[in-house]
Every structure is written in structure tokens, then in C-alpha cells.
Structure 1
Amino acid sequence: MLIARDYWINWKGINMNSIQFFIVALLATIDIHMNQALNLSNLSVPRIIDAAQKAKLFCSYEMGNRTLNSVKWYKDGMEFFRYSPLTPPTTNWFPVKGVTIADGSSHCNQFICNVELEKLNVHSSGSYRCEVSGDAPEFKLIDKTANMTVGVLPKFGPFINGIVHPYRYGDFLAVNCSSDWSNPATTLTWYINNKTAPFTSLQPQLNEITRNTDGFMLYASSLQLRIHIDDPRFISKSEILELKCVADIMGISSVRRESKVRATILALRDAGHKQRLLGQGNGASASGSGSCYESIVFMQHWVFWLCFLLFSRGSPQLTNSHWS
């Protein structure tokens, strides 16, 4: 018999395979517990950022019962910053193309390590990794990686032109949406009353390309919406359509731009009613003009006959006087 604390363990009937399995499971449990104690809880890197801005990189971690040995920042696998509280100097910078750390921007301790990048350019895009390591004897490592795209973001919303007021049943609506210059290129989407416009109503998207002085290729996108207003509901019902053009970059909501216009669709019934009213007005004018003409002709005839009668009565007197 073998006594372990207050428990009596009868080793008879227990084979070595069971003992080995128990030991391995116990060690694995201990190892998992130790690994859970070192945790990189958050890595924040902008997915996309304008080259004129500064990029803030955040890394937070939980050391548990370990001592922090170092925190390292990498771009595309190349180290550009290190914080090592146990080894002076505690902060070090390393030259990496496209990476410029703003003076006095780094802030690191036992819980966080944040740096700020400035003077962003075409070489600043890439994969950024935060690596945290514990001290001896294990020197446990944990890291996370995030991608950052540096570009030129649009300053204005998309421009919509070609709208005409009003439209009628049977008309053809064609409006164009053009984006501001940007890198990466924008993806344009048309919405009609907050519903995605059918693909069949769109003309293929066109992209223009130019080059910025900072080395970025800039793109301008254009997409036309073409609709034949032949829906039967417009025969008897007028409606206002809200047309919205959205410019997206990489599907990121923070850099999304949009513009809206409204198109008035005049119902065929209302349009016909207006035409009838207009026709009646023209008819009334024509009738009035005819009556006026008839009155003038009547007055002319009346004056003519009056003069004729007066002249007829006076003529014999003049004749008799003449002959006498």
C-alpha cells in the first residue's frame, strides 16, 4: 500500500497505461492553465487609412503570473520597435521602409504597448504584428497580426448628374454617378428607394486612372443607372423615387461615401389630366378669339349699312339741287 495525503490508493489492478495517461493529462492541464495566463487580448490596427493621417497601433495583453520580457512590433516580418522593461534602454527603434514612428508617441507598460506612425506613404501598407514574450525560464511567446492599407481616401461624396424633372410613364431615366479620386478604387452601387438597383439597369463601371505626386495611383469610378419607366403602377399613381449612389472602399463603413437625389414620376393619368386641362384652356381661348372676330365683322356690317342708308336718303336732295 502507498499513502498519498489522507487517501489510500490501491495500486493493484491499475495498469501502467492508465497511470501514464493520468500523468500526461495532468501535465497537459497544467500547461493549458499556464498558457491561458499569457493572453494577447487586443490588437488594433487601422484596416485602411489616408496617407495624410497618423496610424495608431494598439496592443494590449495579460501576463498573469508571468513577468513581461519584451513587446515587439513588426511590419512584414521586420522588427521596427521593441519595448524591453528588464533591459535598458527600454525602448528601441529599427529602420524599416515605410515605417516612421512619431516622436514621443510610444507608450508601453505591463499591460499595453502603443505606437503611432507618421509620414505614411505607398510603402506603409502591409502586415503589422505585435509579439509579447514572458521572462525566463519559459520565455512564452504570443502574437497577433493585422493588415493595414495606406491610400488616398475620397474627400467628397459621389457626384450625381443627369436627373430631369419630372418624368412620366414611358420615359427613360438615365443618371450618372461619379466618385472622387481615391486609392484604392471605389466600388459604386445604385439604390432605388433603399433597394439595390437591378443589375440589368446598370451600365458597366468605368475607371479613370491618374498618378499622384506621392506615388499613389488614383482612380475615379463612374456608373450609370438606366431605367425605362414602364411599371404599370405609374399609370395611375405618381411617385417620388429616391436614387442613392454609394461609394465603397473595401467594404469599410468608416470610409463609405454616399449621395442622394429624388426623381418625380408623374402618373400617366395625372399627365393626361393636365393635358386635357391645357387643351380646354386653349379651346376656350380659341372660342373667345372667334367670338371677338364675329363681333368685329358684325360691327363692320352694321356701320356699312348705316352709312348706306344715310347716303341713300341724302342723294335725291343733292341731285335736285344740282339740276335746279
Structure 2
Amino acid sequence: MASAADLKTTKQALIWKRPASPTPKKFKAISSAGVRGLHNLEINVPNAVLLGETVTLECSWQLEDEEALYSVKWYRGREEFYRYIPKELPHTRVFPLPGIEVDISRSGARRVVLQQATPAMAGRFRCEVSADAPTFHTEIRSAPLEVVGKISNKNRRIHIKKI
């Protein structure tokens, strides 16, 4: 067991020296205070939308230390439906998925606009952001989206279709 004399604490790291052995080893635990790159990933997905509404999905992040964006991908469940890669032309690519109609003219790196909400659109949406080489650090956030019926003026009832 290490004694208090064997432990040295510095502002940025904790170094532990093992008792004398044929090949002394050092172990270092570095604080994350100096870590840079891709961080602060946040997703904004409405909890519920009305049938027929336009839906805006937002994903925000920060890149530091001259790190560049590699890609932003959007999924509903496990299926990718939108991809943004700034180094490719065109930057955006849409993959067909039932219930998802992307408005490409209003979509970009940090948001995707979906037209005409239908019950088939409901599900868990996920934003995956990757930094460029050399790290390709990737972070993912997800949130659910429900699609609900409109209020009927005749009966003044709310019709909700379970998905």
C-alpha cells in the first residue's frame, strides 16, 4: 500500500509512484480541464407536434483548437435519413425513409427541417456529430418526437393516434 509520501499532487496531474521494483512505473491521471475539440453537443427536438406541421430538429456543438467538422448525421431509430459533410459537394445527402420528408433548402449543418408531420414520423431522433482527422471524436444525443392529431372543432376532442 502506498504511503502519503508516495503520492504527489500537482494542479494538472496526479502521479503515483509504485514502491521500488525492478522496473519502476508511473501512472498519471490528467484532469480534463485541458481537453479541447468537440464538446457541448446539444439536441433540440420538440416533444410533440401536430399532424401536418413542419418540424425543426436542431443540433449544436462547439469545436476548438482548429479542429474541423467531419460530419453531422441524423437518424430516426437506427435508420439514417440525413447527412451533412462540409468537405463533400453537395454538402447534404438525404436517404429515403417512410414518414420523413426533408426540406433540403432549409436544412444544414445545425438543423434539419422536416415537412408534413405524419404518424410515421414519430420516434427517437438522434444527432451524431464527428470531428475531422486526426481524432474523429464523435458525440451522439437523442430525443423522442410524438405526432398528435388536431383538435376537432365539432366535438372539441383531442384525437391522439398511438404509434
Higher relative contact order (CA 8 A, sep 6+): 2
Residue 40 and residue 155 in structure 1: after superposition, are their counterparts in 2 closer, same or farther (change >3 A)?
Answer: farther
> How far apart are 1:92 and its partner, in Å?
0.6
Residue 142 and residue 97 in structure 1: after superposition, are their counterparts in 2 closer, same or farther (change >3 A)?
Answer: same
Residue 14 and residue 126 in structure 1: after superposition, are their counterparts in 2 closer, same or farther (change >3 A)?
Answer: same
Hey, which bits of structure 1, 4+ residues long, moved more than 6 A?
Answer: none
Aligned to 1:181: 158
- Tell me if 1:146 matches 2:143: yes
Aligned to 2:127: 130
> How far apart are 1:42 and its partner, in Å?
2.2
Per-residue CA deviations over 1:108-150 (Å, capped at 9, x if unaligned) read 2xxxx10111122121000100110011122110010000001
Residue 103 and residue 139 in structure 1: after superposition, are their counterparts in 2 closer, same or farther (change >3 A)?
Answer: closer
Give runs of aligned pairs for residues 119-268 of structure 1, distance below 5 A.
119-154=116-151, 180-183=157-160, 216=161
Aligned to 2:27: 21
Give the alignment's Cα RMSD to 1 decimal. 2.6
Per-residue CA deviations over 1:19-46 (Å, capped at 9, x if unaligned) read 4223xx14xx36x743x53114421101
Aligned to 1:72: 73
Q: Secondary structure at the match of 2:119?
A: coil
Aligned to 2:3: none
**TM-score after normalising by structure 2:** 0.75
Which of the pair is proportionally richer in strand?
2
Aligned to 1:270: none
Higher-Rg structure is 1
**Runs of 5+ consecutive residues of structure 1 not aligned to the other structure:** 1-12, 157-177, 184-215, 218-324
The whole-number CA distance in structure 2 between the counterparts of 1:77 and 1:106 is 21
Contact 1:49 1:153 in 2 (8 A): no
Aligned to 1:81: 82
Contact 1:98 1:123 in 2 (8 A): yes
Aligned positions, number: 142
The whole-number CA distance in structure 1 between the counterparts of 2:53 and 2:126 is 20
**TM-score after normalising by structure 1:** 0.40
Which of the pair is proportionally richer in helix?
1
**Runs of 5+ consecutive residues of structure 2 not aligned to the other structure:** 1-17
Residue 95 and residue 40 in structure 1: after superposition, are their counterparts in 2 closer, same or farther (change >3 A)?
Answer: farther
Contact 2:41 2:139 in 1 (8 A): no
The whole-number CA distance in structure 2 between the counterparts of 1:180 and 1:85 is 46
Aligned to 1:99: 100
The whole-number CA distance in structure 2 between the counterparts of 1:53 and 1:134 is 33
